[in-house]
Structure 1
Amino acid sequence: MSGLLSAPRWNFVRQVASKELLSTLRDRRALMSSILLPLLLIPLFTVGFPLLLGRAFSGQQQEIQRVGIIIMDSVPKSLLDRLSQGHTDSFGRRESGVVLVPVTDPQAAVRDGIVDAVLVFPPNLPKRAGEPSATVKLYAKVGNLKAESGVIAKLNAALAGYNTTLVAEGLKARGVPASFLTPIRVQTLDASRPQEAASGQLAFLVPMFLLQFILAGGMATAIDSTAGEKERGTLEVLLVSPIRRSEVVVGKLLATCSTALLSAACGLVGLLLSGPVSRLLTPPAAGAVTTGLGGQLSVTPLSVLALITMALSAALLLSALLIAVSIFARSYKEAQTYVTPISLLIVFPAVGLQFADFIGRGAGLYAIPVVNAMVVILDVVKGTLNLPFAALAVAVNLLVTALLIGLAVRSFGREAVIFRN
């Protein structure tokens, strides 16, 4: 029992950690997933996905859709010209028009894909302002992202522009300036920090990716050094050697934490590369479309230090949790089923981070293990780092790590756990 509570001898800890790291390095698949995936996936999602999404939306504005019209002869020529010729949006981008096609059944035409949308104009469509108002019916696949960003947006813009033209002509005929209808104008100015504005709307994905890579990087080493050794029958040999159980646990923890941090470091490098890659791939004219989604990471030495410290505390916590759970498994496959739910500890809070602006940032939020790491990383990305709260998050993670290490040491000292296979 005294061997369980005594301070570890670091020479033995280093030997155990080296053995586990060497075993992990021999597994090329685990090594590639720890290095290549973080380097590739983070730039792909922070740059490639927003760029693809922006181009898809922009492509819908440039594509010429087919629009059906009921009783085309009753529609004013000026409105038909506006629909066919397109217009320039508020960002100065030219949107193409649509091809007008006569149809008889609007719902069937849209449902069968004959046209992308149908406009049904009433017989009493106003030709000038002041006449009785009328309702134009727009048939389209509401909820369809392609239709919403393309033909529906185009038709609504064209009809709104025609409406504005009628009002302007009516005011001009009565000698009233157009500003009569808008005596007050609102100019919205961005008061957020430059780093927060540049982080983009997908910034909440960064903490999820970094912690997922920490978990994935440490999982292979943790399982192989516990359940894997039990399955191979080598754990008993290690435990009968003159090494204390605490030294075995700490050595395995350091090896697991090292591979987890390697994966996190590669993810951080991929995150830092996303900025230059974004500037390289995104033309200046399209910057307004993609920057708001993907964003870029701009960090200071202090924020980098906070990011590294937070990642280290999260890696220690997750590594200790992986070891404490995996030691109860009889085999490598069984251990995988045990540790897989741990990923839900990251996924669920990460999904909630997209609503981070609605969450109060009190001390209680930073006292929740794992969640606090994601919140601090998001603060770093957005440039809103609070050092006292970050220090609280690190302290909580280290405290929980110590408790999990104690649990793992106790499990390594129980024959019912070690010899479960």
Structure 2
Amino acid sequence: MTALRWRFVWQVARKELLSTVRDRRALLSGILLPLLLIPVFTVGFPALLGRAFSGQGQERQRVGVLGAFPESLRERLTAGRTDSAGRHEQGVVLVPVTDPQAAVRNGTADAVLVFPPNLPARAGEPNATVKLYAKVGNLKAESGVISKLNAALDDYNTRLVSEGLSERGIPVSFLTPLRVQTLDASRPQEAASGQLAFLVPMFLLQFILAGGMATAIDSTAGEKERGTLEVLLVSPIRRPEVVVGKLLATCSTALLSAACGLLGLLLSGPVSRLLVQDSGGVASGLGGRLSVTPASVLVLIVMALSAALLLSALLIAVSIFARSYKEAQTYVTPISLLIVFPAIGLQFADFIGHGAGLYTLPVVNAMVVILDVVKGKLTLPFAALAVAVNLLVTALLLLLAIRSFGREGVIFRN
């Protein structure tokens, strides 16, 4: 292929960038959304869930009761308790019911306790079963009333056993000769990233795709619809130079969105230190304290560049076949599924494992590398393999786009 004349390539790229800049809505969405959404989902969402879960402890749920039970258990249920962190958990409000299932289903009670007639009052008496009716699987119920009732019944059991052992002169520690202390051995970044870390690579690649989509469609199907593409192709600029120029413009807008996404990722660390307390609660378990080292930022930039080139080439290669801007949108929208489906799978990355083969899958490898960076377990050879694969696929897609631009049946489809 004849050497590219970069002066013409930059002219084409400049023209497409100017066209994109004039569309302020696309520009603002490519800048503001990445800056706002990543901190919101990595910091705000865990903080919101943490407050929602902790709020269940301060709410006095209505619990239906059926059958007789000791006054000491009633006091424990209604008084609440103080947890190991010194936070007081409110008790529940007890109300009589006749139909446990109906009471829970119609909202009369958040849960119902059904006590058997032979409820033991001392350790050593025949065992009995207390039935707990609640909406099992309901996140609010599980973190609220079900947790409270289980804790109260466990405390009641423990008190009966303690009293029985004391009567026999046996210390309570007799029942627990061995204690287990679980210590977190994960990397600091991996522990801080939490369970929502898989959202970070999904958002970064979605921003890359969204940032380049408007430019790619407008510079291909949009120009075809306006009738300006033919004028460009009959100019002294060669077809490969036109394609490479459009690729550079598309990649530039995609990288702008990626850069804003990376900035949002970096901002999530300081923001989380202001909003999310290190209480070991739900918020810290879900994530919200993401941080990366300068070396990791460099890897993220290189990985984002390779992903932006690949997605930009794919967008141009696909969009050129459309007759209009609207038709091109229908063609490129399914490309987002290439990001969403692997992102769902990244939730189970610990089960899948990280073999070299995973880094040879275009687009997927970028998400895996970004997740590795977020969790602090980056392997440079695998990252280099992912970049090389993305650049190779970019070259193939670029050749396909150049070939399509040289076919009159494609250019003049409208």
In which range does the TM-score fall when normalised by the shorter chain?
Answer: over 0.9
Name the structure 2 match of 1:199: 193
Name the structure 2 match of 1:31: 27
Q: Quick check: 1:218–1:257 contact (8 Å CA) kept in 2?
A: yes
Q: CA RMSD in A?
A: 1.1
Secondary structure in 2 matching 1:191: coil
The residue type paired with residue 296 of structure 2 is S
Secondary structure in 2 matching 1:200: helix
Name the structure 1 match of 2:9: 13
Q: Quick check: 1:201–1:295 contact (8 Å CA) kept in 2?
A: no
Structure 1 unaligned residues grouped into runs of 5+:
none
What does 1:260-409 align with in structure 2 at a 5 Å threshold? 260-283=254-277, 286=279, 288-409=281-402
Deviations 1:335-378 (A, max 9, x none): 00000000000000001001111122111000000000000000
Aligned counterparts of 2:147 and 2:297: Cα–Cα separation in 1: 42
2:56 paired with 1:60: yes
Give, in angstroms, the shift of residue 232 of structure 1: 0.2
Name the structure 2 match of 1:235: 229
**The one of 156, 161, 169 aligned to 2:163:** 169
What does 1:181-192 align with in structure 2 at a 5 Å threshold? 181-192=175-186
2:163 paired with 1:158: no
Aligned counterparts of 2:139 and 2:208: Cα–Cα separation in 1: 34
Name the structure 2 match of 1:100: 94
Give, in angstroms, the shift of residue 287 of structure 1: 6.0
Aligned counterparts of 2:264 and 2:138: Cα–Cα separation in 1: 33
Give, in angstroms, the shift of residue 143 of structure 1: 1.8
Name the structure 1 match of 2:80: 86
2:411 paired with 1:415: no
Name the structure 1 match of 2:69: 75
Deviations 1:48-68 (A, max 9, x none): 111111111111111001111
Aligned counterparts of 1:341 and 1:121: Cα–Cα separation in 2: 56
What does 1:113-132 align with in structure 2 at a 5 Å threshold? 113-132=107-126
2:15 paired with 1:22: no
The residue type paired with residue 301 of structure 2 is I
Give, in angstroms, the shift of residue 179 of structure 1: 1.5
Distance change in 2, residues 1:291/1:178 (3 Å) = same
Aligned counterparts of 2:52 and 2:187: Cα–Cα separation in 1: 29
Give, in angstroms, the shift of residue 90 of structure 1: 4.2
Give, in angstroms, the shift of residue 283 of structure 1: 4.5
Aligned counterparts of 1:297 and 1:137: Cα–Cα separation in 2: 43
The residue type paired with residue 253 of structure 1 is L
The residue type paired with residue 127 of structure 1 is A
TM-score for both structures, normalised by structure 1:
0.96
Give, in angstroms, the shift of residue 282 of structure 1: 2.9
The alignment covers a number of residue pairs equal to 414
Structure 2 unaligned residues grouped into runs of 5+:
none
Quick check: 246-255 or 164-173, which moved more?
Answer: 164-173
Aligned counterparts of 2:238 and 2:309: Cα–Cα separation in 1: 20
TM-score for both structures, normalised by structure 2:
0.98
| Runs of 4 or more consecutive aligned structure 1 residues displaced over 6 Å after TM superposition | none
Deviations 1:217-260 (A, max 9, x none): 00000000000000000000000001111000000000000000
2:269 paired with 1:248: no
Aligned counterparts of 2:304 and 2:69: Cα–Cα separation in 1: 63
Give, in angstroms, the shift of residue 146 of structure 1: 1.2
Aligned counterparts of 2:280 and 2:3: Cα–Cα separation in 1: 56
Q: Percent identity?
A: 84
2:44 paired with 1:48: yes
Aligned counterparts of 1:92 and 1:215: Cα–Cα separation in 2: 47
What does 1:206-217 align with in structure 2 at a 5 Å threshold? 206-217=200-211
The residue type paired with residue 210 of structure 2 is A
Q: Quick check: 1:214–1:315 contact (8 Å CA) kept in 2?
A: yes
Aligned counterparts of 1:138 and 1:304: Cα–Cα separation in 2: 51
Q: Quick check: 1:7–1:246 contact (8 Å CA) kept in 2?
A: no
Q: Quick check: 2:123–2:161 contact (8 Å CA) kept in 1?
A: yes
The residue type paired with residue 215 of structure 2 is T
